[in-house]
Amino acid sequence: MKQYSPTTPSRRHMTTVDYGVITHSKPLKSLTTRIKSHSGRNSQGRVTVRHQGGGNKKLYRLVDFKQHEFNIPAKVEGIEYDPYRTAFIARIVYSNGKRSYILATNTMKIGDQLITSEKASIKDGNRMMLKNIPVGYMVHNVELSAGRGGQIIRSAGNYAEILAHDSGFTTLKMPSGEVRKVMSNNYASLGQISNPDYALTTGGKAGHSRWLGIRPTVRGSAMNPVDHPYGGGEGKAQRGTRRPKTLWGKITGGRKTRNKNKYSSRLIVSRRKK
């Protein structure tokens, strides 16, 4: 972590990740595209997701979550920053000359050799079927449906632990503490994702959130009665409603939101601890 001298009030408590592991300052142009910001608005121009807007202009890196270049060795060319995700990304070049971005592991460095294969060697960065990974190993970028590419465990410092293999399913302990089953024929990458210190960062000032495109959140009790169920009253008034409610009057806080009939419920062995 990088700490700053308190030259200003906002610098006093500000901490950022040490970007010393970054080796390339500019992304590969052929693997970038521009995503238009809609500031949380739909096609009619109405805000459907609050607290979004502004922020620095960003280029989207086309990260390959599938890694379907099977049995073709690849070499890590560099570690890069990605403004659209908390983890670092690695630029790799396959032996056939193709280049792509993948999620970087915590131990990855320039020159490392990687491969995607049904049964590869047990080494951080390699990608293989879950059924061929020994119990106790850390994995990330795990597929939920075969061939669809990694969908879970993709943010900084995260990993899942393999607990068991049984009857075509692999049991994973998720970063949240939840234990669930995934089809053993699905692919996963070995190792912990890079940038584990991200969770320790402190913005130091409100402007830091604005750079990230996060707009302020206003308390419901500070609004007028027409704008929120908690609004109105003289001074610091009480909530005035028996159960906590959202902006739209829906019950929240303690109410279960998961669909009881959700198809994946049968794959969850135990829920995360509250």
Cα three-residue angle 40-44-48, rounded to 5 degrees: 30
Instruction: Give the global pTM.
Output: 0.91
Q: How far apart are CA 163 and CA 209, in angstroms?
A: 38
DSSP label of 77:
E
Per-residue pLDDT at 164:
97
Give the pLDDT confidence of 31-66 residue by residue, as tens digits.
999 999 999 999 999 999 999 999 999 999 999 999
All domains in the chain, ordered by first residue: 18-38+54-199 (2.30.30.30), 225-274 (4.10.950.10)
Kindly report the length of the chain.
Answer: 274
Give the pLDDT confidence of 224-244 residue by residue, as tens digits.
999 999 999 999 999 988 899
**254 has a pLDDT exceeding 90:** no
**257 has a pLDDT exceeding 90:** no
Q: How far apart are CA 21 and CA 25, in angstroms?
A: 11
Other Cβ atoms within 10 Å of 143 Cβ, number: 22
Q: How far apart are CA 52 and CA 210, in angstroms?
A: 9
Could you give the 3-state DSSP secondary structure of residue 182? strand
What is the number of alpha carbons within 13 Å of residue 244 lying toward its C-beta? 6
> Which distant-in-sequence residues (6+ apart) come within 8 Å of 84 by Cβ?
58, 60, 61
Give the pLDDT band of residue 273 (cuts 50, 70, 90). Answer: confident
Asked if 102 and 148 touch (Cβ cutoff 8 Å), the reply is: no
Q: Which of 144, 64, 152, 148 is closest to 104 using CA atoms?
A: 64
Give the pLDDT confidence of 191-220 residue by residue, as tens digits.
999 999 999 999 999 999 999 999 999 999
Other Cβ atoms within 10 Å of 161 Cβ, number: 15
Q: Where do we find the tokens 């075969």?
A: 146
Per-residue pLDDT at 163:
97
Give the pLDDT confidence of 3-36 residue by residue, as tens digits.
899 999 999 999 999 899 999 889 999 999 999 9
**113 has a pLDDT exceeding 90:** yes
What average pLDDT does the segment 99-118 reach? 96
